[in-house]
Amino acid sequence: MDLSDTADEAAFRDDLRGWLAANLPADWGQRAPQAGRWDEDFSRTWSNKLFGAGYAGLTWPEAFGGGGKPPAYQAIYLEETARVGAPDHIGVIGLGMAGPTIIAHGTDKQKSQHLKAILSAEQIFCQGFSEPSSGSDLASLKTRAVRDGDHFVVNGQKVWSSYAHIADYCILLTRTDPDGENHRALTYFLLDMRTEGVTVRPLRQLTGDPEFNEIFLEDVRIPAECVVGQVGAGWRVAMTTLLHERGTLGFALTARLDVSLQNLMATARRTGADADPLTRDRIASLWIEMQGLRYTAYRSLAALARTGVPGPEASITKLRWSETNQRLTKLALELLGPDAQIDGEDGFWSGYWQYQQLRSRGNTIEAGTSEVLRSIVAERVLGLPRSR
C-alpha cells in the first residue's frame, strides 16, 4: 500500500494546516496541557467553525452536509489536528456513531432533522446501549418499549452514557418483544433527551469529573416515527453503530496517543529525565508501539476503502492503544518523581498527568472491554474457533 499523499490529499493537508494556524488561538502552541473536561461553550463554537470550513463529516455524503471524501482524508485530518493538539469536535458520538447509522438506516425525515445539526454541533448525541446488567452482553438488555398507538412507552435504565448530561438526543436500544430471541427482540430509537420522564444522573469518576452518566427512563413516550430501521431489527442497526464506532476509532486513538507522547517527551525534557538512557529507551518503545498502531489503522483504512464497511481490525488498535496509554501515563508520573504526589494548581501542568493516569484506567473497559476485544480478534481476525 502506498502511504504517501496523492496530489489532492497533499493539497488538502496544506489547506488544513493553514486553516488550523489561522483559527486556533494565537498562543495555542504555548499553552500547557489542561487536566479535566473541555469547556463546552468553546467546544461548541470550535465545532461549528469546523463545520463551516468543511472539516466536520469529511466522509459523509455531500447531500447530508458532509465532504463526500474517501476515508484517507479523515485520517489526514486526525493526523494534522493531533500534530497541533487541536480540540476535537464536541459531537464525537453523533459524527462517528449516530450519523452513520442514520445515513444507513434512517428515514428521509430523520436524515433531514439530524444530520446537518450533528455536523454543526447544534445537536449533541449520547449513546443508550449499556445497562447495569447488560454491558458486554448487549443482547440481554432489559429496557422495555411497549407500543401504545403512535408512540412507544419506554421504561428502564442505561449507564456509562458519555455526554448524556449535555446531549440533545440519544441513540437508544430497547427490548420490544419480551418473549423473542435476544437478538431479534430489540428496537433502535432516536430519543429526544428533553422528553418527560428522562432523568440524567452524572457519575463522578476517579478523576473527579462527571463524564459518564446514568439515564433513567420512566414512562417515556417516544413517537413511533423515531424508530430507526424496523421494529425488532434493532440488533442489526446497533451493529452498524458499533462497526462505525470501532472502524473510525483507530486513527482517532493513534492521534490522541501522538499528542500524549509529545507531552511525555516535553515532560522528560522539563524534568531532566531525557538524559537517562533507560528513560529514552522506554519512550522509544512507546513511540514504536504508536507506529505499529498507526500502520494497523492504515490496514483498517484500506479495508474500509475496499469494502465500504469497517472491519474487525480496528479492535486490535483499540485493544493495544488502551494498554499502551496506561503504560505511557504511568511512565509520566514516574518521571515527575515526588512531584507526582502534588495535584491540582500547584502540581506539574496543574495535575495533568495525575488526571490522565486516573482517566486511563477506563480505557480497557470503555468501547469494548479488553477481554471482549481479544475474543473479536481471535475469532474474526485470526480465524480461531469460537470459545463457546
Query: Which residues are catalytically annotated?
Result: 245
Residue 102 has which C-alpha cell?
Answer: 442514520
Q: Where do the H-state alpha helices sit in 27-154?
A: 40-52, 71-84, 92-93, 99-105, 108-119
Q: How far apart are CA 260 and CA 267, in angstroms?
A: 10
Residue 305 has which C-alpha cell?
Answer: 476503502
Residue 236 has which C-alpha cell?
Answer: 442489526
Question: Which runs of E-coded beta strand occur in the chain?
Answer: 125-128, 144-148, 151-158, 169-175, 186-192, 198-203, 212-223, 227-228
Which whole-number Å values give the CA distances from 208 to 126, 204, 211, in the listed order?
20, 6, 9
**Residue 220 near residue 198, CB atoms below 8 Å:** yes
Amino acid at 326: Q
